[in-house]
Chains A and B, each alone.
Chain A
Amino acid sequence: MIKNYDVIIIGAGGAGLRAAVEIPKEYSCAVLSKVFPPRSHTGTAQGGVCAALGNMEDDSWENHAFDTVKGSDYLGDQDAIETMCKDAIRAVMELEHMGLPFSRNEDGKIAQRKFGGHTKPADPNDPYGKRIPVMRACYSADRTGHVMLQTLFENCIKNNVDFYSEYFVTDIIIEDNVCKGVAAFNIATGEVTVFHAKAVMFATGGYGRVFRITSNAHVGTGDGTALIYKNGLPLEDMEFFQFHPTGLWRLGILVSEAARGEGGILKNKDGERFMQRYAPTVMDLAPRDMVSRAIISEIREGRGIKGSDGTDYVLLDVSHLGKKVIDEKLPEITGFARTYLGVEPTKEPIPIQPTAHYAMGGIPTNANCEVYSDEKGNTVKGLYAAGECACVSVHGGNRLGTNSLLDIIVFGRRGGKAISEFLKTAGFAEIKENHETKTKDKISKVINNQGEEKVYKLRTELQEWMMDKCGIFRNEADLKEMVEKLKELKERFKKISIQDKGTVFNTDLMEAMELDNLLVNAEATVYSALNRQESRGAHMREDFPNRDDEKWMKHSFIFMNENTPEIKTRPVTVTKYKPMERKY
């Protein structure tokens, strides 16, 4: 079956939905998603979305931009960061106008709170002097992502956006550097459809499921980044993967930075507030990469607590905040601690350990979400990407908390605007190859494959190895071992067999295809990590412990190749923020 749409958006999280809202009614627009839109992973974001509204205290978008550049460890493109932080104020107001139920301050304006890495100068006359935490994160209790996803979904319903929910995209159609659509199957029926389009936007999210301990939903398998890479297009800065410091021990479920924003503190087994040794000025509110490394250092030096599963954890204490603050501002995360660990956060500290959380890297785009076909800045006509799957790059080496929700609303809208502009002159380009047959072949190949290997087993091995060899601390020997392991896993993947041979809601088939995508994302991550011989942001090389701006202040662009991937580089765009040592 072939369906024609002016624009196809893949992914119904915040970026995809925000883009869909932006497409004018005269154009036909459909959103494809492998889950119902309100199931998307945006809904699990908790703490807030930053914008320098100044509702609680003086602040400026320039402060926000400075923090984002510094937080990125000077790998973020400064023009894009300025665009985002400046637009943040309008973008948050727009969400309020769309109906998002924000928490409010005493004046009835949007309430704001502190968040890791968000600061302002202690002395306004000394902009480059000592900085102190600032209340910049706009929030709705600790369900900001949930209500944002709901609000955007609601606005799509208002605008009569067409949804194809529970469709799994198997192929992207790019011929002669023009994107002409995608092929997908309906999960419920197995029916294959080619969506012929003038413009396609990827808003497919991250790939945290390559790691064993992750805050990411089971859907977070990087299907979009994998499709792009498999089609010969580059992925950018894939070595930068953020570990959130406070995942619920054993499960990796996110415990928002809002807990520390409201005054929660991290403690080691001696009850010491250890962050004061690592980040003397902002302590527990240091950026995530630094806090995660501090936790692992504490554990390595014997100051962690051994859990019943053999892994070590440290403690997040919010008990001193009192029941009222906890119930009003942190109800969801304290609920997780109660439900899953049987811990009562009003009385005792919460066991936490770092959890794989966010891909800073992804599909390279410019600030209008147009996808780059190479490191020189050429673009693929009609192809766009936004959100976690994309790399603009506004997060560089390390994303600041709340900037992901900001990224999706700012760049989701910008992508939607750019597509609307493009559609004024764009037409349907003829598709040469038969992608319906191609996808059917792909599906039957997985279903009929005969072999001894099992999907869950390969996936578990991948996740455990990635955690051990390509996690928070990395080195050449480990990464090389991981390269070999990946080669082995890819070979073994050819010998998988699945049990479900049917066409109706075949999740066995989907898990196999998702594993294929995870392996691709892992490959791009590991090779990029091996290539970058320095430590920057979330990428920490024990054998190259320092940041090396002279050699490495540049983006990695990795391309798939027959044997070994090829890595090229692109300079970082610098406006006015000169690299300096990153201390907090």
Chain B
Amino acid sequence: MDITVRILRYNPEKDEKPYFVDYSVPNVSPDWRLLDVLHEIKWKLDGTLTFRRSCAHGICGSDGMKVNGKNRLACSVLLKDLNMKKTVVIEPLPSLPIIKDLVVDMSSFFSKYEVIKPYLISKTPPPPNSERIQSNEDAEKLFESAKCILCACCTTSCPSTWTNENYIGPAAFLKAYRFVFDTRDDAADERLDIIDNPDGVWRCHTIFNCIETCPKEINITWHISQLKKKISSREM
């Protein structure tokens, strides 16, 4: 079976602007990952094609890219889930500067993540020789948000990100939730102050792109709504 993929290429050392190149890849199988097709191109057809990847099974978050208009991890998309008869269009994650081909500059994404203080802040010292007590019910409330692999699929899929580069974005909010709702954390107010502003959670217009795109199937909008509720209740 053959497949045709159309990839947005850009090499800053040569090209003035990005352009599409079509690759016809022979002998692919429906149970291949899209990442396998990219490797097939890189290894056999065009060694200059550039993309990030590492674990190849949806844990490391390296290979986020736009596939037929939707942000996905190339290693988590199987060919049989695409229409193989039609050309598959692959572009870099939107709204971040392109370094080369499918590789984007992630620095603004990570600095927004750092803004929300993504670490446990406890005002009381932990017990010296044992764990802090937390019910399994309370622990499991954090698990969905803790699944986040920081692939940036959600943040770069959000129209609020496209129109305002200062928007903190869904991935960072999810991390904020992870700590604001951790019974061991004492800095909820500090974090809520950071996201309670026009570049914060209020710019989330519940468009749901983040949920649709999240490769870990996290209900991000729900988590953001909990943060909004928490901010509102604190003002009452």
Contact = CB atoms under 8 A, between A and B. Distances in A.
A518 to B, nearest CB: 15
A157 B118 contact: yes
A97 B14 CA distance: 50
Chain A CB within 10 Å, residue with most, of B100, B126, B131, B133: B131
Interface string A25-49: 0000000000110111101100000
Interface string B4-15: 000000011110
A106 B135 CA distance: 7
Contact of B58 (A101, A155, A339): A339
Interface stretch (A143-151, A263-271, A357-365): A143-151
B162 interface: no
B219 to A, nearest CB: 14
A110 B58 CA distance: 27
Contacts of A106: 136
Given A93-B131, A505-B50, A44 B139 contact: no
Interface in A63-96: 90, 93, 96
Interface string B61-80: 11000000000000010100
A39 B139 contact: no
Contacts of B184: 99
Given A38-B150, A502-B11, A507 B50 contact: yes
Nearest to A96: B131
B18 to A, nearest CB: 14
B60 interface: yes
Contacts of B131: 93, 96-97, 102, 109-110
Contacts of B96: none
Interface in A320-366: 328, 332, 336, 339-342
B163 interface: no
B106 A36 contact: yes
Contact of B57 (A98, A107, A336): A336
Nearest to B130: A93
Nearest to A218: B54
Contact of B103 (A140, A498, A505): A505
A506 B42 CA distance: 12
Nearest to A341: B31
A103 interface: yes
A505 B62 contact: no
A373 to B, nearest CB: 32
Given A36-B110, A158-B119, A508 B48 contact: yes
A378 interface: no
Interface in A462-518: 498-500, 502-508
B43 interface: yes
A141 B143 contact: yes
Contact of B100 (A99, A336, A504): A504
Interface residues of B, number: 61
B146 interface: yes
A140 B139 CA distance: 9
Contacts of B46: 499
Contacts of B43: 454-456
B106 A105 contact: no
A447 to B, nearest CB: 11
A98 B184 CA distance: 10
Contacts of B100: 502, 504-505
A305 interface: no
Contacts of A110: 131
B91 to A, nearest CB: 16
A560 interface: no
A423 interface: no
A41 B57 CA distance: 11
A39 B184 CA distance: 26
B64 to A, nearest CB: 11
A180 to B, nearest CB: 30
B134 interface: yes
Contacts of B56: 217-218, 253
Interface string A117-154: 00000000000000000000000110100110010001
B152 to A, nearest CB: 10
Contacts of A502: 11, 13-14, 48, 100
A108 B131 CA distance: 9
A188 interface: yes
Contact of B136 (A103, A155, A188, A506): A103
Interface of A: 35-36, 38-41, 43-44, 90, 93, 96-99, 101-111, 140-141, 143, 146-147, 150, 154-155, 157-158, 188, 217-219, 251, 253, 328, 332, 336, 339-342, 454-456, 498-500, 502-508
Interface of B: 11-14, 31, 33, 42-44, 46-48, 50-62, 76, 78, 99-101, 103, 105-106, 110, 114, 118-120, 126, 129-136, 138-140, 142-143, 146-147, 149-150, 178-179, 182, 184-185
21 contacts: A36-B106, A39-B60, A41-B60, A44-B60, A90-B129, A99-B182, A99-B184, A99-B185, A104-B134, A104-B135, A106-B136, A143-B146, A154-B120, A217-B54, A332-B59, A340-B57, A456-B44, A499-B48, A504-B13, A508-B47, A508-B48
What 7 pairs between A and B have smallest CB-CB spacing? A99-B120, A499-B47, A456-B43, A108-B133, A104-B136, A154-B119, A158-B119
